[in-house]
């Protein structure tokens, strides 16, 4: 689409031009009748031809939300673009006006209309529920976009108070034991980080602020009973710098002299403690973390730096290569990182012989030790395109992993696995895994419900579309109340 050179505008990544409402989807198998609610999944979906099609980055574009609604054993679907301020400006002009945040471009932006935002937020990283309200977001905004839960129409902006210049996380987490939702904002120009907790309705309970010594790219964090946990790799970002995005330069850069650093922020006092490492890796997403005596144990997806002296365009290779050259980064891997609070030492080790990203646990136990982790991954033989070819369940107790490829050809590509506990569940893995898979034979997608206890077995239900859902990012199951 628009180009034959850029893999992130073709095949499973090709933007979807239509908005659908489908009342009754074809189902193979049987949808559990206990499942009443919707699986929301979002991603980037470029609406107009990019200013520079050959350098368009997967992280850029326009946010599009997809909803698979389940009720009484039946399934419906709809999708809709998020009506951000930037998209409205471009729709009025009838063409793209903005460069992307992550990709670099050979085309500087022209002057924007009066009142237009300086950069265009994608609003396509995640979908969450705050107090029963459905929100989608991007991590350069200081607010979320509220959506109609049923038709996905954009209702307006939602924030947690006036935070000018602050970038609000697209990866909040919930501490179910404390009954708190946890967030952060960071202002890279002021070099400040603010962590805050809310109740389940979104009312702020506490705020903790700390200074940052550099301008990190922060995409996710994790928590334990007493700490917010951040691991900063060598990638930096400055999305609001006037000499970057408007001039066609990526907001991302790579600090080839930096090593990975860890920051713990005390949830009660706000006191920060830094830990240095000799390693160079970028942490994509956290699966979970917990405290064990005088140690913090973190399970996460890690991309190792293979060439620490790399001085090129990080956006050409992260998270997947845009160009067909040897990457300075590894594919994402599952790692366990241990922080020794008594010695200050940080160690990490790889888990498994597979590649893994989009890591998720049973989120009701987050902040405590988990036995199981679920993720999208690459397991031999690898896919022919940029993406994953299986879902993985890893057992941290036995060290065993199980794999679901859904196809004997190893060519179907899954998205993020979402764990949904069964009503009354006691065992940690007593639930379902939901994921959206792309089928290259049909060039169409399906939402598949897997039995979490038997992930490598036959699916419970396959809910099929006649069109593809572009490979995207995150989402959540939001049950009807």
Instruction: Residue 211: count other Cβ atoms within 10 Å of its Cβ.
Output: 9
Q: Which residues are annotated as a binding site?
A: 171, 219, 285, 474
SS3 label, residue 163: coil
Phi, psi (5° rounding) for residue 210?
-145, 150
pLDDT digit string, tens, across residues 101-128: 999 999 999 999 999 999 999 999 999 9
**Calpha distance 17→243 (Å, rounded):** 32
Give yes or no for residue 204 having a pLDDT over 90: yes
Q: How confident is the model at residue 366 (pLDDT cuts 50, 70, 90)?
A: very high
Mean pLDDT computed over every residue of the chain: 96
The answer to whether position 101 is within a domain reads yes
Give yes or no for residue 56 having a pLDDT over 70: yes
Q: Which residues are annotated as a binding site for Fe cation?
A: 171, 219, 285, 474
**Calpha distance 68→432 (Å, rounded):** 15
pLDDT for position 108: 95
Contact between 371 and 428 (Cβ < 8 Å)? yes
The answer to whether position 126 is within a domain reads yes
Percent of the chain at pLDDT above 70? 98
Tell me the C-alpha to C-alpha distance, in Å, between residue 23 and each of 27, 62, 74, 359.
Answer: 12, 25, 9, 31
pLDDT for position 3: 76
The answer to whether position 1 is within a domain reads no
**Calpha distance 9→5 (Å, rounded):** 9
pTM for the structure as a whole: 0.97
Q: How confident is the model at residue 5 (pLDDT cuts 50, 70, 90)?
A: confident
Give the chain's domain count. 1
The answer to whether position 265 is within a domain reads yes
pLDDT digit string, tens, across residues 369-421: 999 999 999 997 766 667 899 999 999 999 999 999 999 888 999 999 999 99
CATH of the domain at 43: 2.130.10.10
pLDDT digit string, tens, across residues 124-176: 999 999 999 999 999 999 999 999 999 999 999 999 986 666 899 999 999 99
The answer to whether position 2 is within a domain reads no
Which structural domain, as residue segments, surrounds residue 420?
A: 7-479
């Amino acid at each position: 689409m628009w180009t034959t050179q850029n893999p992130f505008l073709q095949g499973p990544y090709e933007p979807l031009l239509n908005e659908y409402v489908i009342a009754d989807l074809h189902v193979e198998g049987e949808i559990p009748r206990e499942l009443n609610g919707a699986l929301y999944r979002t991603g980037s979906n470029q609406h107009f031809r990019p200013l520079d099609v050959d350098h368009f980055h997967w992280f850029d574009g326009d946010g599009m939300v997809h909803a698979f609604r389940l009720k009484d054993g039946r399934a419906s679907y709809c999708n809709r673009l998020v009506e951000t301020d930037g998209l409205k400006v471009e729709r009025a002009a009838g063409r793209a006006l903005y460069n992307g945040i992550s990709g670099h471009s050979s085309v500087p932006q022209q002057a924007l209309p009066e009142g237009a935002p300086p950069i265009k937020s994608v609003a396509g990283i995640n979908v969450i529920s705050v107090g029963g309200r459905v929100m989608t977001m991007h991590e350069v905004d200081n607010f979320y976009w509220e959506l109609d839960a049923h038709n996905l129409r954009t209702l307006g902006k939602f924030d947690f108070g006036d935070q000018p210049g602050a970038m609000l996380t697209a990866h909040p987490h919930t501490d179910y034991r404390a009954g708190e939702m946890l967030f952060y904002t960071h202002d890279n120009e002021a070099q400040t980080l603010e962590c805050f907790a809310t109740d389940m309705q979104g009312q702020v309970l506490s705020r903790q602020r700390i200074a940052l010594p550099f301008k990190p790219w922060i995409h996710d964090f994790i928590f334990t009973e007493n700490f917010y946990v951040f691991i900063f790799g060598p990638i930096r970002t400055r999305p609001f710098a006037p000499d970057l995005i408007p001039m066609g330069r990526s907001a991302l850069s790579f600090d080839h002299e930096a090593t990975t650093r860890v920051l713990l922020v005390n949830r009660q006092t706000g006191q920060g403690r830094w830990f240095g490492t000799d390693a160079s890796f970028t942490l994509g997403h956290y699966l979970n973390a917990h405290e064990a005596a005088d140690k913090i144990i973190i399970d996460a997806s890690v991309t190792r730096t293979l060439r620490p002296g790399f001085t090129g365009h990080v956006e050409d290779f992260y998270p997947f290569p845009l160009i067909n050259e040897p990457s300075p980064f590894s594919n994402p891997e599952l790692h366990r990182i241990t922080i020794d609070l008594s010695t200050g030492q940080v160690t990490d080790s790889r888990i498994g012989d597979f590649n893994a990203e989009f890591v998720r646990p049973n989120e009701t136990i987050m902040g405590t030790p988990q036995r199981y982790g679920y993720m999208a991954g690459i397991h031999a033989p690898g896919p022919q395109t940029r993406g994953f070819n299986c879902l993985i369940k890893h057992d941290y107790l036995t060290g065993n992993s199980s794999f679901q490829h859904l196809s004997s050809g190893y060519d179907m590509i899954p998205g993020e696995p979402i764990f949904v506990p069964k009503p009354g569940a006691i065992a940690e893995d007593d639930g379902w895994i939901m994921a959206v898979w792309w089928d290259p034979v049909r060039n169409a997608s399906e939402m598949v419900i897997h039995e979490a206890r038997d992930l490598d077995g036959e699916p419970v239900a396959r809910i099929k579309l006649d069109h593809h859902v572009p490979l995207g990012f995150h989402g959540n199951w939001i049950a009807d109340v």
